[in-house]
Amino acid sequence: MSADKEIGKYQLFQTEDKILADAQHLLNRDDIPVNEVKKAYRLLTSRYESLLEEVKIHTKVGDKLQAKLYAINEELEFAKDGLEKIVEARTTELKQANIDLLAINEELDSFVYRAAHDIRGPLATLLGLCNLAKMDIEESKALVYFEMLQKTALRLDNILSRLMIINTLKNQLVHVEHINIQNAVNELIEDHAHRKELFVGVRFRIDIEQNFGFDTDKNILEIMLCNVLENAANTLTKPASERISPEIINLKIVPQSSYFEIFITHKGFPIPLEASDQIFNMFYRPSEKSEVTGLKLYTAKRAAEKLKGRIWLVESNQERTMMGMAIPYSYH
């Protein structure tokens, strides 16, 4: 619309210039009869009047357009004010919703922590009674029941412990320290793996391509590795009670440019390809009858993310299952 107006104004100016030029040419000529001069003057006057009318029309159109533009600007300003008020109201609502969500989240964390502590007390008593009963009772059938009761209580105690670890991990601040990879792995195997019944009959093969140091939270790193190793031990082809020959769990460390990779490999029940993401869900079960859940891998994933790393399923088949983890050399 603006370009059309500019063209119209240019044409009007051209017409006016042409009329003025013709009038000046008429005045400069002395050889034209009076009648011809009058006739030419009337024609020029008529042309100039037409030009003035056209200017008036353009002016009226311009005034209307200007008024319309003013009205549109007012509407836009009103809409802008209304939109700003809506955005401000929504922002206030979102801030309040975020505050409420944080409060609910904090309350939920507190509930999980308190509930786990409150349940573990009676559970510890139950486990103690099971041990006493197994020592005092001689009837074989009753001993079987107490053994089953004790195993169930231990599973529940293990779940509660992991829920408490997850809850702590969620709110835990990262404390960075310099760590040597060789020492960290050796301490992990010595202090954790060899002391748990789950690892009875398990032999670890450690392959560290290059010894190096890095900066991260040692406690969170151990949580990540312990949970992946426990998941591997828990899904070996043979359970701890049936292991005659050693079951092998391989742990390999591969340095990269800005991070290092950890690969844990074992031979166990293969994970279907379609479940490669689901295994990191807290309550994932390979089957309805399975007692194994995704709690360990869920915890490992949360720990890896806390260290700004990641964890993934590399492969899983009848021959081996491999989990991969990547951790940066420097946490920042």
- What's the distance, CA 141 to chain centroid? 53
Same domain, 116 and 196: no
Kindly state whether residue 167 falls inside one of the protein's structural domains: no
Kindly state whether residue 164 falls inside one of the protein's structural domains: no
Same domain, 1 and 112: yes
Same domain, 58 and 193: no
Helix (H, G, I), strand (E, B) or coil at 92: helix
Kindly state whether residue 168 falls inside one of the protein's structural domains: no
What's the rounded Cα separation, in Å, for the pair 313 and 271? 9
The pLDDT assigned to 1 comes to 47
Instruction: Give the domain range for residue 277.
Output: 176-328
Same domain, 86 and 196: no
The pLDDT assigned to 303 comes to 92
Kindly state whether residue 279 falls inside one of the protein's structural domains: yes
Kindly state whether residue 153 falls inside one of the protein's structural domains: no
Kindly state whether residue 147 falls inside one of the protein's structural domains: no
CATH number at residue 288: 3.30.565.10
Same domain, 305 and 193: yes
What are the Cα distances from residue 212, in Å, to 71, 113, 217? 72, 37, 16
Number of domains in the chain: 2
User: Running along the chain, 332 residues long, what does each successive block of 10 average in pLDDT?
Assistant: 50 59 62 61 65 66 72 79 82 81 68 69 80 81 83 78 77 89 90 73 89 93 92 81 83 94 90 82 67 79 93 90 94 79
Kindly state whether residue 152 falls inside one of the protein's structural domains: no
Find tokens 């070996």 and name the residue.
236
Kindly state whether residue 158 falls inside one of the protein's structural domains: no
DSSP 174: P
- CB-based contact 269:237 (threshold 8 Å): yes
Same domain, 27 and 102: yes
The pLDDT assigned to 55 comes to 63
